[in-house]
């Protein structure tokens, strides 16, 4: 029997140095519930985003999943169009009636619905688009890995479920340092696996398919902070030994055609 392929969820990540960004937060589901309230207000319109279907891992724009909602009953939800109903059942305690695998699927459904709710906040017609022409699937880490420059104070936490790539990339060892170079920092078909180092001369990488890295699941475009500039919202899954394969969100923007990418400012915290 084929083992189920499930994206475990997580919605706690910060930009604070030394924080892995992959730990659960006690307020995780509070943030999620408030995010989904916006989805309910918006009428639950479906997104054209790409998701991974539970169990199969197939990339789809929507999927159906049957989950326990009572001690002896299940209900089939179509995600994302029925996210409001799924959220209502989840809030009523449906997750507790499932086995370990079903609880993980419940978490995945809530994470997918959170992602849709996040995109629902976007301004419908941003004035400037300097991101959609960039090929993120075949770009360079040099363009999209951000330096956290927060002075002496801790960096402002990102909204739940978001991450900076520095938190999932494997650091170079001293022995590998001499072999690393900027040309190895390429993303190919949405995948990067390798070792990464940072120095005065910039970022250097050593490609290695056995090392940790990430895989981009989908890229959506929306003005998520309503500043008039289109943003790219990259959904990715960490890969490698010792990492949790959970869907994470990396929002990026830029305000000039050839300027550097950065995380959008003033992202609303739910």
Q: Is 8 within the bounds of a domain?
A: no
How much is the pLDDT for 193?
94
Q: Is 6 within the bounds of a domain?
A: no
Residue 27 has pLDDT above 80, yes or no: no
Q: Is 57 within the bounds of a domain?
A: yes
Residue 53 has pLDDT above 70, yes or no: yes
The residue among 92, 120, 148 that closes a domain is: 120
Residue 197 has pLDDT above 50, yes or no: yes
Per-residue pLDDT tens digits for 77-111: 999 999 999 999 999 999 999 999 999 899 989 88
How much is the pLDDT for 94?
94
How much is the pLDDT for 159?
62
Per-residue pLDDT tens digits for 140-196: 998 888 654 444 555 566 666 677 777 788 888 878 877 888 889 999 999 999 999
Question: Phi and psi at residue 112, in whole multiples of 5°?
Answer: -65, -40
Percent of the chain surpassing pLDDT 70: 74
The residue among 78, 94, 120 that closes a domain is: 120
Both 102 and 50 in one domain: the answer is yes
Give the pLDDT band (50/70/90) at residue 123. Answer: low
Q: Is 267 within the bounds of a domain?
A: no
Contact 48, 65 (CB under 8 A): no
Both 185 and 93 in one domain: the answer is no
Cα angle: 264, vertex 267, 270; to 5 degrees: 160
How much is the pLDDT for 128?
92
Cα angle: 161, vertex 238, 191; to 5 degrees: 120
Per-residue pLDDT tens digits for 130-148: 999 999 999 999 888 865 4
Both 165 and 79 in one domain: the answer is no
Q: Is 269 within the bounds of a domain?
A: no
How much is the pLDDT for 268?
55
Q: Pick the range with the lowest mean pLDDT from 22-36, 113-127, 138-152, 172-186.
A: 22-36
Q: Is the dihedral of CA 74, 80, 81, 85 positive or negative?
A: positive
Counting every residue written for the chain, the total comes to 270
Residue 258 has pLDDT above 80, yes or no: yes
Both 209 and 144 in one domain: the answer is yes
Instruction: Supply the range of the domain harboring residue 158.
Output: 136-253
Complete DSSP assignment for 73-107: EEEEEEETTTHHHHHHHHHTTGGGGS-HHHHHHHH
Mean pLDDT (the chain) is 77
Q: Is 104 within the bounds of a domain?
A: yes
How much is the pLDDT for 146?
65
How much is the pLDDT for 138?
96
How much is the pLDDT for 200?
74
Residue 21 has pLDDT above 70, yes or no: no
Number of domains within the chain: 2
Q: Is 56 within the bounds of a domain?
A: yes
pTM of the model: 0.62
């Amino acid at each position: 029997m084929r083992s189920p392929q499930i994206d475990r969820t997580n919605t706690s990540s910060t930009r604070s140095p030394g924080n892995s960004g992959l730990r659960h937060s006690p307020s995780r589901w509070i943030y999620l519930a408030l995010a989904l309230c916006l989805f309910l207000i918006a009428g639950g319109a479906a997104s054209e985003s790409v998701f991974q279907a539970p169990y199969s891992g197939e990339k789809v724009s929507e999927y159906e999943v049957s989950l326990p909602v009572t001690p002896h009953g299940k209900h089939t939800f179509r995600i994302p169009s029925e996210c409001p109903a799924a959220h209502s059942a989840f809030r009523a305690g449906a997750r507790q009636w499932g086995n370990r695998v079903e609880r993980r699927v419940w978490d995945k459904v809530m994470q997918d619905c959170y992602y849709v709710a996040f995109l629902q906040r976007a301004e419908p017609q941003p004035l400037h688009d300097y991101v959609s022409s960039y090929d993120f699937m075949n770009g360079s880490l040099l363009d999209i890995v951000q330096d956290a420059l927060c002075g002496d104070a801790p960096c402002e936490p990102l909204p739940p479920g978001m991450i900076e790539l520095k938190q999932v990339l494997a650091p170079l060892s001293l022995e590998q340092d001499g072999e690393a170079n900027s040309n190895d920092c390429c993303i190919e078909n949405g995948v990067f696996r390798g070792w990464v180092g940072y120095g005065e001369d910039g970022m250097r990488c050593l490609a290695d398919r056995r090392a940790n890295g990430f895989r981009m699941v989908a890229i959506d475009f929306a003005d998520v902070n309503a500043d008039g500039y289109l943003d790219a919202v990259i959904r990715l899954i960490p890969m490698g030994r010792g990492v949790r394969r959970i869907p994470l969100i990396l929002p990026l923007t830029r305000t000039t055609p050839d300027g550097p990418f950065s995380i959008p400012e003033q992202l609303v915290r739910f």
